[in-house]
A and B are shown apart, each in its own frame.
Chain A
Amino acid sequence: MDPILKVEDLAISFGNNNVLKNVNFELYDNEILGIIGPNGAGKTVLLNILTGTLKPTSGRVTFMGKDILGVRIDERARLGFGRTFQVPRSFENMTAYENVMASAICGGQTTQREAAKRAEEILEFIGLEDKALVLAGSLKLLDKKRLEIGIALAPHPKVLMFDEVAGGLTESEISNILDIVKSLKIHGYSIIWIEHVIQTMLNGTDRVLLLADGYDIICDLPQIVLDSNEVEKVYLGVRKK
């Protein structure tokens, strides 16, 4: 089976700082790929390259058989890339409902009527229907994170990218997010999920990629990666005897 997204020899540097040196991975249809790595490993940079806000120094990104590195940011959204931001970037002076509508209209090219219908479905799915008419800027963190997912989902994307959607949440809130992600898989989405919370990676992903020192160190089933020597070395700086 052809991967839906393929990243080859990806590298990016800022001045002398080579953040990504050579990163390769594939995302298959209806797969949840977790990405872990220490702070500064370049996980968010990777997402920014995929969505187009950063241009890589070299490498290739193929999405459904098409090279997309020359494609504009907004066009990528319309092609089927949906993402969340680590620090939520919902539109703060708009209501939750309008946030989702705006995303459906811009990324999904829908009419206002279709967008309104989609927004109602999504707010119910992410459990924000009772806060639909609250300004996004006055939502609590968990609700903001949920809304981020809702905004990303609105235009029916093919690939969802989550940048630490569980970061900063309590344990029960994390399981709440985990439920949402699991049902997204049932709905057929393919997901790239960056996270520090190991529990979510173990329970919520199909494969996990370890990103460190600018390379894709290991990519395998979650349990295998988390038990590996490489993870221990990267996170603790020691090697198992």
Chain B
Amino acid sequence: MSIIEAKLNGIASQTGKVKIIVAAIILIIMGTLPFWGSGYMTNVFLLIFLYMSIGMMWNLLSGYAGLTSLGQQAFIGIGGYSVAVLTQVYGLSLIWGFAVGSVVGVVFALVISMPIFKMNGAYFTIGTWIIAEALYIFFVKWEFVNYGIGYPITAAYGIPMWGLYLASFIVGIGSIVIVTLLLKSRLGLTLMAMRDDSGAAEVRGVKLYRTKLICYLIAAFWVTITGCLLFLNQAYIVPSSAFTIDWTIACVFIVIIGGIGTIEGPIVGAVIYVFLRQILYGFPGISNIILGIIAIIIIIVAPKGIMGYLNNKFNLDIFSIRRRIKR
């Protein structure tokens, strides 16, 4: 090995160490936020982690697997209602809400995958949306879930703020870990190939259906869990808040401005989105218009999103997804 290569390897292992130290510092600061930060800051970062989680999963679907869904709110609603019904109606503990919710979410995903995976591109997108809308109408007319009146989730009052925050922190960081591990695995190269050219990937032997289904089920599971937490935070659920397309619109905004098909994108996107929403509370009625204008400007200036632009410009590889040649 030449001296230059030895030096380069030295630098690479050094940046690896720096990365671990920086990550540890960020995790410690964020993980202990409720114990030193204000209540307002804790609540803002709680939302950032939850939105990061749903954005991350939407990015896995749309950015990698080519499954642009407008129906992720179906899983958020299923999660929220599982917690509400099991704790309010059956008086069970919260853990049951999470457990039953995630099973129902994954089974529901498996069942609807059969018809909607037969649709491609825009038809898939419309199909997912229609299913989520149908679910909304069904819940409004379903006695078991108290029609359109919904439920208060009183179990939420028993959780301290730091508890809810830590759960959201784990779900948010967990979403990053899941996607990073997925991309580093054998399946990761398949997913990146599908992202770049799914037709060519199939000719190279990629099992498109199977790979897409794996991603869809992972996303369903994690979004349902996130949905449980989102509604514990709201402490009240009605069909119109559970199954609103606003959830998925938030995902789209987060991923597009952050950078689709990158791991860093949804993280940056979620931070920007939640902070913008805080500012825009002062402009009721036109807040969505302002968000839309911001999205349009970013798409024009940096079509691949903020992190897509920065990754290309500075050749970044923050999560070390790139395969390196080992000597």
Contact = CB atoms under 8 A, between A and B. Distances in A.
A74 B190 CA distance: 12
Contact of A106 (B185, B195, B205, B325): B205
B302 interface: no
A106 B196 CA distance: 15
A203 to B, nearest CB: 28
A151 interface: yes
Contacts of B206: 74, 106
Contacts of A103: 204-205
A105 B207 CA distance: 11
Contacts of B208: 74
Nearest to B195: A93
Nearest to B322: A95
A234 B203 CA distance: 32
B193 interface: yes
B205 A111 contact: no
Chain B interface: which size bin? 20 to 34
Contacts of B325: 97, 116, 120, 132-133
B52 to A, nearest CB: 22
A113 to B, nearest CB: 9
Contacts of B202: 73-74, 77
Nearest to A137: B196
Interface centre among A73, A108, A116 (most CB of B within 10 A): A73
Chain A interface: which size bin? 35 or more
Contacts of A144: none
Interface stretch (A59-67, A83-91, A214-222): A83-91
B192 interface: yes
Interface string B114-156: 0000000000000000000000000000000000000000000
Contacts of B204: 74, 77, 102-103, 106-107, 151, 155
Interface in A147-164: 151, 155
Given A74-B207, A95-B323, A101-B323, A106 B199 contact: no
Given A116-B325, A116-B326, A102 B203 contact: no
Interface string B170-212: 0000000000000001100110110111011111111110000
Contacts of A105: 186, 189-190
A41 interface: no
B190 A98 contact: no
Contacts of B205: 74-75, 77-78, 103, 106-109, 155
Contacts of A151: 204
A179 to B, nearest CB: 24
A239 to B, nearest CB: 40
A98 B189 contact: yes
Nearest to B308: A93
Contact of A91 (B192, B207, B322): B192
B261 interface: yes
Contacts of A93: 192, 195-196, 261
Nearest to B189: A102
A86 B207 CA distance: 23
Given A94-B192, A106-B190, A89 B197 contact: yes
A98 B325 CA distance: 10
Interface centre among A78, A103, A109 (most CB of B within 10 A): A103
A97 B324 CA distance: 8
A151 B200 CA distance: 11
B313 to A, nearest CB: 13
A229 interface: no
A133 to B, nearest CB: 7
A112 interface: yes
A112 B186 contact: yes
A205 interface: no
B196 A91 contact: yes
B192 A53 contact: no
Contacts of A90: 200
A92 interface: yes
Contacts of B199: 53, 89
Interface string B287-301: 000000000000000
A92 B195 CA distance: 10
Given A102-B190, A155-B204, 15 more contacts: A74-B203, A74-B204, A74-B205, A75-B205, A77-B204, A89-B197, A89-B199, A89-B200, A91-B195, A91-B196, A93-B192, A93-B196, A103-B204, A112-B323, A120-B325
15 contacts: A74-B202, A74-B204, A94-B189, A94-B196, A98-B192, A102-B190, A106-B189, A106-B205, A107-B205, A109-B205, A112-B185, A112-B186, A116-B326, A132-B325, A133-B325
| 4 residue pairs, one from A and one from B, having the closest CB atoms | A77-B205, A107-B205, A91-B196, A106-B205
